[in-house]
Amino acid sequence: MGQQVSDLPDTNSNFSKDTFVWPEEALQKKLSGKKMPARALKQKLLGAFVLILYIAPIMIAATLIEPHFKNELLKKAVSICVFFFGGLSIVLVFSTAPSLVASLYQQRKLKQAESLCRLYLFLVGNFSPYSYETALMYGLLAEVLKADARFDEAEKMIRLGIEACVINENLTVSSSLEDIPDQYKKLAQQSLALSMPTKGMLYETFGSILRDKKMYKQAVEAGKRSIKSIEDKLRHAQTIPKDTTRIGILSPDIVKPMILALASTQYELALTYLAENNYEQALPLLKSARKIREEHQSTPYYMANVLSALGRVYISLNETEKALKCGQDALALLENAKLPVEQLARSRALDVMSKASSNKGKLNDSKRLGLEAKEIRERWLAPADPERAASSLD
């Protein structure tokens, strides 16, 4: 059918509670029972145009450099090197882009992160619009737009990411992986590792966006979908036969990111329950997320966020000493906090300490800690961000 999914009629453009449709359902309506889409003609033309733009300067450089060498063998070597390193550079740019976006996001350089995401999607998205790499970049762009409090735009991007993921799942025949030649198995295994948690991670982001839009019922369902997706992948990984001749053997280095992704999805769903004051549902999720992060070393501010959320639950349950311990442990992990995301994690721990101090009658300490947390939020959060409006404990 030649049309790109995003070019098809939008069946869920309003994104309101009354007209809410899940991405899979919206995709089904767009396709109307037809086959999964191939690359659109527009995408193919754009892809060719981008390739020409990239190759043209390399050819010009080779043409300018080559006449300066007299030896024919050296001329050929120069041409080969120009093309080789030119091609290598574009591969490096594409492979490092997600990490660079994440780094810019951590520094709250949201405009630069957004520009890089959109450039990547223009370049790579036109070559492989339904790859897991493209889907993941849609997810990163949604995270950036959410941080900038552009929730409708963020929801649109995350929907495109989930749709790309669904299409890729339908186009991929996993049974054929074992037929891959031995020399390519490691590369295919890396691709498999990327694909496994992608849909769950996208639904995690979807849930956080819906929570910020106060669509709590849908946010809870998105969170449950994210957890189920990753748990299903982990169960599948455990059932793969221990046969070293098969591509399906997953090393601990591949499984660990999936387990940490599970902790992340549990944390996000717990935040949605907290927004609804549903502490009974939030508590076991946060305990599980903490246990995972204790057993599998991870980034300190992630663990600090989990501890702060746990502290919020304990405060609501009038268990002030447990809340204090959570806040203190979180702050201990953030002693050298420099990045904005680390500072924001610190503000959440300070909120817990502030409320716990108030409960113990230490009003001056409570006020000081609360003001420090507020200053951090006002510095790094967008004006319309729900977390900035007031203490997360209010």
Convert the pLDDT of each residue in 137-156 to its tens digit: 999 999 999 999 999 999 99
Last residue of a domain, one of 147, 172, 197: 172
CATH of the domain at 383: 1.25.40.10
Query: What is the number of structural domains in the chain?
Result: 3
Mean pLDDT of 203-227: 96
Same domain, 22 and 154: yes
One domain for residues 372 and 242: no
Question: 141 and 241: one domain?
Answer: no
**To the nearest whole percent, how much of the chain has pLDDT over 70?**
66
Examine the domain organization and report whether 139 and 26 are in the same domain: yes
Nearest CA among 316, 257, 256 for reference residue 286 = 316
* Helix-helix angle 151-171:132-147, to 10 degrees: 170
Do 215 and 165 sit in the same domain of this protein?
no
pLDDT at 304: 97
Q: Report the b/e string of 266-282 with b at 16+ CB within 10 A.
A: bbbbbbbbbbeeebeeb
Q: Identify each DSSP E strand in the chain by its residue range.
A: none
CA angle 376, 378, 383 (to 5 degrees): 150
User: What single-letter amino acid sits at 29?
Assistant: K
pTM to 2 decimals? 0.78
Shared domain check, 319 and 283: no
Query: In the numeric block, which tokens belong to residue 142?
Result: 């949604």
Instruction: Encode pLDDT of 247-284 as tens digits.
Output: 444 455 567 888 999 999 999 999 999 999 999 999 99
Task: State the pLDDT at residue 256.
Answer: 80
The last residue of a domain, from among 293, 318, 342: 293
* Phi and psi torsions of 12, nearest 5°: -150, 50
Same domain, yes or no: 162 and 194: no
Query: Where is average pLDDT lowest: 35-39, 40-44, 380-384?
Result: 35-39
pLDDT at site 317: 94
Mean pLDDT for 105-109 is: 93
63 and 160 share a domain? yes
Which residue among 293, 312, 336 closes a domain? 293
| pLDDT reading at 43 higher than 60 | no
Residue found by looking up tokens 């956080």 in the block: 208
Residues 242 and 165 placed together within one structural domain of the fold: no
For residues 166 and 203, is the Cβ–Cβ distance under 8 A?
Answer: no
Q: At what angle do helices 252-275 and 216-239 cross, to 10 degrees?
A: 160
pLDDT score recorded for residue 40:
59
Burial label for 46, CB within 10 Å (0-12, 13-18, 19+), is middle
Same domain, 285 and 321: no
10 lies in which domain range?
1-172
Sign of the CA dihedral 36, 40, 46, 50?
Answer: positive
Q: Are residues 334 and 394 in the same domain?
A: yes
Q: How far apart are CA 15 and CA 12, in angstroms?
A: 6
Q: Mind listing the pLDDT tens digit for each residue in 6-15?
A: 443 344 445 5
Q: Are residues 121 and 167 in the same domain?
A: yes
- Residue % of the chain over a pLDDT of 90: 48
Chain centre distance of CA 16: 23
Q: Looking at residue 55, what is its pLDDT?
A: 59
Segment 283-305 mean pLDDT: 94
222: its two tokens: 């998105």
